[in-house]
C-alpha cells in the first residue's frame, strides 16, 4: 500500500494508512476514541465565490461510531476578523487548511487522554500540518501565514498528548466514505453563508450516516 493513501477492499471498506506511524507497541495499544473528518470547498467560477471549511466529529469505541457534531463556516481573509486564521486569498487549499486548523484548535481544548485520528482528503493540508512540505514563496505565498499556523497548531496538539494519540490519515474524496461526504456537504454550506461573521456548530446525528467500522 502506498504510504498516506487509502484503498478500498472487495467488501467496500476503506482502509487508510497512518502518515505519522506509531510504533508496533503503540499500534497494538492505542485505539482512537474520536474520528474527525475535515474538508474545504471553493467554486471559483461563481461570481464572488467564498471558500468554506468544515469538520465533522465522531465518537468511537461503541458498537457503532456516534456522530457528535459538525462545524462549518466561511474562510476569512480579513486580518481583523475574529475567525481569521491566516488565509489571504480564497481557494480550495485555503478551505482545506482552515478546516484542519479549526479542527485541531477545537481538539486542543479536549482532555489530553483523548486519542484522535483526523481523516483528511487533502495531501497539501496533511503535508503542511506534518511539516513534510513548507509553504513556498513562489506558490501559495498569500496563504503562507495560514500554513504556518496549521503546522504550529498540529505540533502543539501532538506535543500535548501521549505518543501515538494524535494521527492523520488520508482518505480519498468522493468515494462514498460517509464521514468525508458529510464534511464535504458542510464545507459547501460554509462557502454559501451570506454573513461573514458566521460559524455554525450543529448536531447532525439524525441526518447523516456514521462512518462504517472499516473506515480508517
Q: Integer distance in angstroms from the first to the last C-alpha of the chain?
A: 14
**Span 160-177, average pLDDT:** 93
Round to whole Å and give the CA distance between 91 and 29.
Answer: 39
The total number of residues shown for the chain amounts to 216
Per-residue pLDDT at 43: 79
- 100 assigned to some structural domain: yes
pTM for this model (two decimals): 0.76
* pLDDT digit string, tens, across residues 30-85: 578 999 999 999 877 666 778 899 999 999 988 888 888 889 988 888 788 888 88
CATH number of the domain bearing residue 18: 3.30.420.10
pLDDT value of position 136: 63
Domain assignment of residue 1, yes or no: no
Mean pLDDT of 150-175: 94
Beta bridge partners of 199: 73
Which residues are within 8 A (CB) of 198 and not within 5 positions of it... i.e. 6 or more apart? 73, 74
pLDDT at residue number 14:
33
Phi and psi at 101, nearest 5°, equal -65, -45
**Domain annotation covers residue 213:** no
Beta bridge partners of 170: 120
Mean pLDDT to the nearest integer, 20-29: 40
Domain count, the chain: 1
Residue 139: the pLDDT is 52
pLDDT band for 99, please (50, 70, 90 cuts): very high
Average model confidence (pLDDT) for the chain? 77
Q: Residue 81 is part of which domain span?
A: 6-202
Q: How far is CA 32 from CA 84, 96, 208, 216, in A?
A: 30, 22, 21, 10
Q: Per residue in 175-195, pLDDT tens? A: 999 899 999 999 999 888 876
Amino acid at each position: 500500500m502506498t504510504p498516506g493513501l487509502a484503498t478500498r477492499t472487495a467488501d467496500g471498506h476503506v482502509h487508510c494508512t497512518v502518515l505519522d506511524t506509531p510504533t508496533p507497541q503503540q499500534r497494538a495499544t492505542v485505539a482512537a476514541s474520536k474520528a474527525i473528518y475535515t474538508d474545504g470547498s471553493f467554486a471559483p467560477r461563481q461570481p464572488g465565490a467564498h471558500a468554506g471549511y468544515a469538520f465533522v466529529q465522531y465518537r468511537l469505541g461503541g458498537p457503532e461510531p456516534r456522530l457528535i457534531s459538525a462545524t462549518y463556516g466561511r474562510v476569512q481573509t480579513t486580518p481583523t476578523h475574529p475567525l481569521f486564521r491566516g488565509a489571504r486569498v480564497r481557494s480550495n487549499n485555503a478551505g482545506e487548511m482552515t478546516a484542519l486548523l479549526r479542527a485541531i484548535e477545537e481538539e486542543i481544548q479536549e482532555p489530553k487522554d483523548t486519542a484522535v485520528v483526523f481523516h483528511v482528503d487533502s495531501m497539501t493540508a496533511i503535508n503542511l500540518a506534518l511539516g513534510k512540505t513548507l509553504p513556498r514563496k513562489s506558490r501559495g505565498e498569500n496563504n503562507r501565514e495560514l500554513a504556518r499556523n496549521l503546522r504550529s497548531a498540529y505540533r502543539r496538539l501532538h506535543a500535548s498528548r501521549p505518543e501515538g494519540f494524535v494521527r492523520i490519515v488520508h482518505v480519498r474524496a468522493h468515494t462514498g466514505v460517509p464521514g468525508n461526504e458529510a464534511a464535504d456537504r458542510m464545507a459547501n454550506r460554509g462557502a454559501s453563508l451570506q454573513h461573514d461573521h458566521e460559524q455554525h456548530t450543529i448536531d447532525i446525528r439524525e441526518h447523516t450516516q456514521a462512518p462504517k467500522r472499516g473506515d480508517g
